[in-house]
Amino acid sequence: MELCPSVKNVLLLDSEGNRIAAKYYCDDWPTNSAKEAFEKAVFTKTQKTNARTEAEIAMIENNVVVYKFVQNLHFFVTGGEDENELILATVVQGFSDAVGILLRGQVDKREALENLDLILMCLDEIVDGGIILETDPNVIAGKIASQSLDAGGPLSEQTISQALATAREHLTRSLLK
């Protein structure tokens, strides 16, 4: 057993089992088809449960999978068979709550796909290389919001003149390199 709790993967699937976002931190699933097969096994085993109010735990393929459903999104965190379920539950709760904050309470598939960049940044803030960095949803959302402000915000939320100015800045930077 390792000293530091670790995560093997973090998955965000829709209510039909399709991948919205996924990060794998180990080589247990070396190919994309192996990853998709694991995701299908996880979804099939958990779809009949009601993990809406709090996180549930399952053993799938000798891995501890902690999961939670919010609207039509399914959040999963996988750890080794010796991993502490409470720590994994804290990770999945932090991930789902941070996504809720970032999507302003509109946690559904359409919003998740439209804001996929925020969700992927959220995953990067929570886990890095399988090591758990942060589980407080307010801290995670705050870091991502400050990164978004530093980057000038998404082009969809800018006026035409702001978008042109941003494009001009990027073009100037790329020419000066």
Banded pLDDT at 151 (limits 50, 70, 90):
low
Banded pLDDT at 162 (limits 50, 70, 90):
low
Of 74, 121, 122, 66, the residue nearest 90 (C-alpha): 66
**What rounded mean pLDDT belongs to the chain?**
86
Which tens digit of pLDDT belongs to each residue from 91-147?
A: 999 999 999 998 888 888 988 898 898 899 999 999 999 999 999 999 988 888 877
Q: Does residue 3 carry a pLDDT above 90?
A: no
Q: Does residue 150 carry a pLDDT above 70?
A: no
The CATH number of 7-151 is 3.30.450.60
pLDDT on residue 18: 92
pLDDT on residue 1: 47
Q: Rounded to whole angstroms, how far apart are CA atoms 56 and 126? A: 19
Residue type, 28: D
DSSP letter string, the chain: --SS-B-SEEEEEETTS-EEEEEE-SSSS-SHHHHHHHHHHHHHHHTTS--SSS-EEEEETTEEEEEEEETTEEEEEEEETTS-HHHHHHHHHHHHHHHHHHTTT--SHHHHHHTHHHHHHHHHHHEETTEE----HHHHHHHHHHHHHHTT--GGGS-HHHHHHHHHHHHHHHHH-
Q: Does residue 2 carry a pLDDT above 60?
A: no
Characterize the bridge pairing of strands 73-80 and 63-70.
antiparallel
Domain residues of the chain, as ranges? 7-151
Mean pLDDT on 137-158:
70
Q: What percent of the chain has pLDDT over 70?
A: 88
- Which residue has better confidence, 167 or 113? 113
End-to-end CA distance of the chain: 47
Q: Rounded to whole angstroms, how far apart are CA atoms 67 and 58? A: 8
Banded pLDDT at 149 (limits 50, 70, 90):
low
Q: Does residue 169 carry a pLDDT above 90?
A: no
Q: Does residue 174 carry a pLDDT above 50?
A: yes
pLDDT on residue 104: 84
Which tens digit of pLDDT belongs to each residue from 76-89?
A: 999 999 999 999 99
